[in-house]
Amino acid sequence: MEKTLALACELIRRPSVTPEDADCQALMAEHLEAIGFQCTDMPFGEVKNLWAERSGKGAERSGKGAERGSEGPIVVFAGHTDVVPTGPESQWQSPPFEPTLRDGLLYGRGAADMKGSLAAMIVACEEFVASHPEHRGRIGFLITSDEEGPAVNGTVKVVEALVDAGKAIDWCIVGEPSSTSSLGDVVKNGRRGSLGAVLTVRGIQGHIAYPHLADNPIHRALPALDALTREVWDEGNDFFPATSFQISNINGGTGATNVIPGEVEVVFNFRFSTEVTDTELRQRTETILDAHGLDYSIDWNLSGQAFLTPSGALVEAAVESIREVAGIETELSTAGGTSDGRFIAPTGTQVLELGPVNATIHKIDECVRADDLPRLAAMYRGILEKLLLD
């Protein structure tokens, strides 16, 4: 079996449902130490994290615990070993943690998101180091088992520890499944920010037949909510669509049909571009609520800042490598949800996401084209060559 495909199968066999790692990182560390990486376990809470680093010129390369040089820029591969739950296993055509090849596709939970990418990263480094053992700069791996879960003890904590240790990441390739129809057709060079809120509007509970003795918070809230839905938050830009405001839940009432409730709860979310900040969104929202004279409280939750990696060394290396391997011109995109890139980009790192086709991620019978995995490894290897060879 082709080596990238074989390694992906080994990873899929490990049932690493978030936040479990199921020794996936140990397997990756074994491969990385064999080619001169220093591997450091960085657990936080129940979450396993792996930081691995290899220096090129002038560095010792004797495996775990060896002293390392820190000269030159660093390219980091970032990803996660955890996967989402399988859903009813009886609905899978083959067991979700038994990798199965069928009609040119590799089936298994995590095949596309993102154990296939992890295998391609490892093989890319093995081949690159074998050909260029004295490469300039450094190569790193930042791997977590907390991407599909709460994402509080994973990448964000490792990045904080790296910053505290004075380690700066120059370029980062996240292995999220970015492709839409064919491998490499889309690269994510940014993501929208995500700002959520729980709004509580208070009124006075009373009998529905005597509204003059009550104050209906639902009626109070509706004009303000209408104003929020009509607000133009920004116009977007060349990379981002306009900021979106969406209400996901409204909850009020006591369970009785003849009672005006004392409060109503509204859950909403902004997916925002780089044209506006989360601070501006909070302020403008509260200005609208205040203008409607509401008695309210609001709890904000910032899941991630918007980030953008414009044209530069990393983007150009990815575009050229995809062209060489796949013979296509890739599209730069910021569409979709959030990723762990949101924790890395604020440190000043150039970040992009490149991975397999995402059509089956999180679904029953998740799969990836088997021959895409060695091609993805070739793309990753090409990026390393363009960034780390003199």
Query: Is position 366 annotated in a ligand binding site?
Result: no
Distance CA(204)–CA(211), nearest Å, equals 10
Lowest-confidence region among 164-168, 215-219, 366-370: 164-168
Helix axes 24-33, 3-12, angle to 10 degrees: 150
User: φ, ψ for residue 158 (rounded to 5)?
Assistant: -65, -45
Distance CA(328)–CA(343), nearest Å, equals 30
Q: 234: exposed, middle or buried (C-beta count within 10 Å: 0-12, 13-18, 19+)? A: middle
Same topology, domains 3-191+306-389 and 193-304? Answer is no
Decide if pLDDT at 63 tops 50. Answer: no
Confidence of residue 70 (pLDDT cuts 50, 70, 90): low
Mean pLDDT for 44-59 is 88
Indicate if 147 belongs to the active site: yes
Query: Is position 132 annotated in a ligand binding site?
Result: no
From the CA atom positions of the chain, what is the Rg in Å?
A: 24
Decide if pLDDT at 284 tops 50. Answer: yes
Helices (H), 236-365: 278-291, 313-326, 341-344
Mean pLDDT for 22-44 is 98
pTM: 0.88
The CATH number for 193-304, chosen from 3.40.190.80, 3.30.200.20, 3.30.70.360, 3.90.1520.10, is: 3.30.70.360
Helix axes 217-230, 278-291, angle to 10 degrees: 130
Of 388, 370, 382, 344, nearest to 167 by C-alpha is 344
Mean pLDDT for 10-36 is 98
Decide if pLDDT at 65 tops 90. Answer: no
Q: Cα angle at 79 between 272 and 239, to 5 degrees?
A: 30
Share of the chain above pLDDT 90, in %: 92
Decide if pLDDT at 336 tops 80. Answer: yes
Catalytic annotation, pick one of 33, 147, 353, 365? 147
Contact predicate 142/78, CB 8 Å: yes
Confidence of residue 62 (pLDDT cuts 50, 70, 90): very low
pLDDT at residue 320, rounded to an integer: 98
Decide if pLDDT at 379 tops 70. Answer: yes
Mean pLDDT for 136-142 is 97
Residue type, position 261, single letter: P
Question: Bigger pLDDT: 338 or 158?
Answer: 158
Q: Under DSSP, is residue 389 helix (H, G, I), strand (E, B) or coil? A: coil
Confidence of residue 161 (pLDDT cuts 50, 70, 90): very high
Cis check for the bond before 19: say yes or no (omega within 30 of 0). yes
Average pLDDT, the chain: 94
Catalytic annotation, pick one of 82, 146, 340, 365? 82
Query: Taking the CA of residue 19 as centre, how many other CA atoms within 13 Å lie in the half-sphere pointing to its CB?
Result: 17
Indicate if 2 belongs to the active site: no
pLDDT at residue 66, rounded to an integer: 33
Contact predicate 207/258, CB 8 Å: yes
Mean pLDDT for 60-77 is 59
pLDDT at residue 337, rounded to an integer: 81
Confidence of residue 100 (pLDDT cuts 50, 70, 90): very high
Query: Is position 212 annotated in a ligand binding site?
Result: no
**Chain CA centroid to CA 45, Å:** 20
**Chain CA centroid to CA 181, Å:** 20
Confidence of residue 363 (pLDDT cuts 50, 70, 90): very high
The residues, any chain, with a CB within 8 Å of residue 75's CB and separated by 6 or more, are 137, 138, 139, 140, 170, 171, 172, 173, 383, 384, 387, 388
DSSP letter (8 states) at residue 111: I
Give CA separation, 197 vs 27, 148, 194, 213, 221, in Å.
40, 21, 10, 30, 15
Instruction: Locate 51 and state its tokens.
Output: 């930081």
Q: Cα angle at 334 between 331 and 340, to 5 degrees?
A: 120
Contact predicate 179/61, CB 8 Å: no
Distance CA(275)–CA(65), nearest Å, equals 45
Beta strands in the chain (DSSP E): 38-41, 49-55, 74-80, 100-102, 105-107, 138-144, 171-174, 186-188, 190-191, 193-202, 206-207, 244-252, 259-260, 263-272, 296-304, 307-308, 331-333, 350-353, 367-369
The residues, any chain, with a CB within 8 Å of residue 130's CB and separated by 6 or more, are 35
The residues, any chain, with a CB within 8 Å of residue 238's CB and separated by 6 or more, are none
Query: Is position 113 annotated in a ligand binding site?
Result: yes
Share of the chain above pLDDT 70, in %: 96
Residue type, position 337, single letter: G
Mean pLDDT for 322-351 is 94
Query: Is position 231 annotated in a ligand binding site?
Result: no
Decide if pLDDT at 68 tops 80. Answer: no
Distance CA(24)–CA(17), nearest Å, equals 11
Domain ranges of the chain: 3-191+306-389, 193-304
Give CA separation, 105 vs 91, 325, 378, in Å.
18, 20, 19
Lowest-confidence region among 16-20, 111-115, 315-319, 333-337: 333-337
Q: Under DSSP, is residue 195 helix (H, G, I), strand (E, B) or coil? A: strand
Mean pLDDT for 265-284 is 97
Contact predicate 122/35, CB 8 Å: no
The CATH number for 3-191+306-389, chosen from 3.30.1360.70, 3.40.50.720, 3.40.630.10, 1.10.10.10, is: 3.40.630.10
Contact predicate 127/119, CB 8 Å: no
